[in-house]
Structure 1
Amino acid sequence: MTDQQQADLRHDEMEAGTTTGLASPSVDVTDARQNSLWSDAWGHLRRNPLFWIGAVLGLVFLLVAVFPQVFARGADPRSCSLSNSQQAPSADHWFGFDQQGCDYLANVVYGARNSLLIGLLAVLVVLVLGVVVGAVSGFYGGLTDTVLSRLTDVFYAVPFVLGAIVVLQSGVIGRGVVAVAIALAAFGWMTAMRLVRSQVIAVKSGDYVAAARAMGASNGRILVRHILPNAVAPVLVYTTITIGVLIAAEATLTFLGVGLQRPAISWGLQIDAGQSLLRTAPHLVLFPSIVLTLTVMAFIMMGDALRDALDPRQRG
């Protein structure tokens, strides 16, 4: 075959690929569309003050959890003296002292680690369960979709906090950080599953998916490479908001006595201990409640900003 013939053959192959949509440029088009989506979203986020407020607050609390000794001003949360019991805030001790005479700023600061760790661990499990179950259900359909959807409905029938209380009260998985995160995630993954399932069903009929299938791509590659990247946006918004919801849920469980147990340090434990002293030492409830509220608000604001950025219909 001459050089001219080889050149003509390559030209014909490229034309055929472009006409049928079976060649690799279809993947480039998909990548370009995704890059454009995230580029536009970032451009919108940069102009959204709520996103920056939430991001700064979230970063501050993350640093507090990672380096509590810095923010506690060198105080030890377990170094206590009853002579300081319930002392009010002062210039030397900004948050005062708790009932046992422990520096309360140190306790609130060190409480951030467990609360954030539980929230992040739980949302990681929620994300994995929701994405895997939702992707398999939406992609394969039929009996698989029916079984997984009905299983999701069973978990939906159990109230979120009530289900976590039952699991933790049983004592099967204990009451530690990991146990509380698992209990919360076990009854919080269903919305993520339905979001992923609906997105996968909408995306899997796209032309680029048909092109990838015609080119011989396996189901696993199609799902991971072509479908999930187009279904991740609403799940990202949901999980960002859910971190704040899970942190609040952990504090609720701990406040009710079924979450973390002493000697663990947690905002829920601090609020629980301070409720009986609300009249004489209101700072014992006030400070952990404010920090908890700001943490939850930070993630919810970031989630709302992401929703607006990724969905142009939500933009004001």
Structure 2
Amino acid sequence: MTDTAGTLDTPSGTAEHPETPDAARTPAGKRASLSTDAWLELRARPTVWAALITLLLMTAMALAPGLLTSLLTEGGDRCDLAHSKLGPSAAHPFGFDLQGCDYLAQVIRGTRPSLIAGLAVTAASLLIAIVLGLLCGFYGGWFDALVSRVTDIFFGLPFVLGATVILVAFPDHGLGAMILVLTVLGWTTMTRIMRSQVLALADADYVRAARMLGARPARLMLRHILPNAITPVIVVAMLNVGAVISGEATLDFLGVGLQYPEVSWGLQLNAAQAFVLDHPHLLLFPALFLSATVLSFILLGDAARDAFDPRLK
């Protein structure tokens, strides 16, 4: 009886339970939370580290293009038409562009618009999704019906086509206008996901208990519902960054996005299309950087979705 009682009184996760793996515990000896398990799973994936290193490199290129250009290129700020479209060499590994500028320096400079657009549009869309999703899912009623019908309308608008029509109507635009247009067209998916998460949590037992204890609606939404509803939206936001970068490059390529003398990967692809057979390096390098950036965000989003989804455990 003494041994039985001692076993029953022993908390789960002590020495009497050696079958519980140490990796599933926190340093204090407690069972790890979902976020801890997710982090342990993410850091064990080589693809996650490869994506993070790629994005850190792209971020450095966007933040300090001049510094990297001076370190990696010879005379990166000088252009000579005599060097126009020359191929890669030891001194200039990416060759030269149409204006005879070092192509590595130009590709580095093209990182900033794409990365700024992807992060700014996703951040703005995420903020809209959190606000509207919380209000619609928590209160419902006529406001929920109105926002739902508006999202249905925006879902019916093709992303690139809608942005093209708007940007063509306002030809004197820059990066700020593109961010605004892409945000207007890109907030709907995250808002729908946020709303569905709030609807699922609004009647949870712990939310009902907090409501009976006198918690106000703002506290219920921000303290009890939002922390438990935000994870799927964050995962979708990570995937959305890559989609926005692709959309921004597509608009530049079509000639309705950024205009010269701005530098972006989409503009470089647009200029290279007429010379792709004779000078393939003009298309290869910006396409490679664009694909690597988009793929890195997609890999991180997929890995985060798998790590945070308890149904896949």
TM-score tier by shorter-chain length is 0.7 to 0.9
**Structure 1 residue 79 displacement after superposition:** 2.5
Q: Which residue of structure 2 lines up, in the alignment, with residue 36 of structure 1?
A: 33
Aligned partners of 1:214 and 1:312: how far apart in 2? 29
1:183 aligns with 2:165: no
Q: Secondary structure at the match of 1:87?
A: coil
- For structure 1, the residue ranges without an aligned partner over 5 or more in a row are 1-34
**Structure 1 residue 193 displacement after superposition:** 0.5
**Structure 1 residue 74 displacement after superposition:** 5.1
Tell me if structure 2 keeps the 8 A contact 1:77–1:103: yes
Q: Structure 2 matches for 1:128-207, cutoff 5 A?
A: 128-171=127-170, 174-207=172-205
**Structure 1 residue 306 displacement after superposition:** 0.1
Tell me if structure 2 keeps the 8 A contact 1:112–1:266: yes
Q: Which moved more, 1:129-138 or 1:263-272?
A: 129-138
Tell me if structure 1 keeps the 8 A contact 2:73–2:104: no
Tell me if structure 1 keeps the 8 A contact 2:81–2:99: yes
1:231 aligns with 2:198: no
Q: Secondary structure at the match of 2:86?
A: coil
Aligned partners of 1:76 and 1:66: how far apart in 2? 20
Q: Partner amino acid for 1:56? A: I
Q: Partner amino acid for 1:192? A: M
Aligned partners of 2:213 and 2:310: how far apart in 1? 33
Q: Deviations over 1:187-213 (max 9, x none)?
A: 111110110000000011111111221
Aligned partners of 1:48 and 1:313: how far apart in 2? 19
Q: Structure 2 matches for 1:90-101, cutoff 5 A?
A: 90-101=89-100
Q: Structure 2 matches for 1:18-29, cutoff 5 A?
A: none
Q: Structure 2 matches for 1:80-99, cutoff 5 A?
A: 80-99=79-98
The total of aligned residue pairs comes to 280
Q: Which residue of structure 2 lines up, in the alignment, with residue 113 of structure 1?
A: 112
Aligned partners of 2:280 and 2:203: how far apart in 1? 59
Aligned partners of 1:150 and 1:105: how far apart in 2? 47
- TM-score of the pair, normalised by structure 1: 0.85
Q: Secondary structure at the match of 1:187?
A: helix
Aligned partners of 2:176 and 2:241: how far apart in 1? 15
**Structure 1 residue 77 displacement after superposition:** 5.5
- For structure 2, the residue ranges without an aligned partner over 5 or more in a row are 1-31
Taking every aligned residue pair, what percent have the same amino acid on both sides? 47
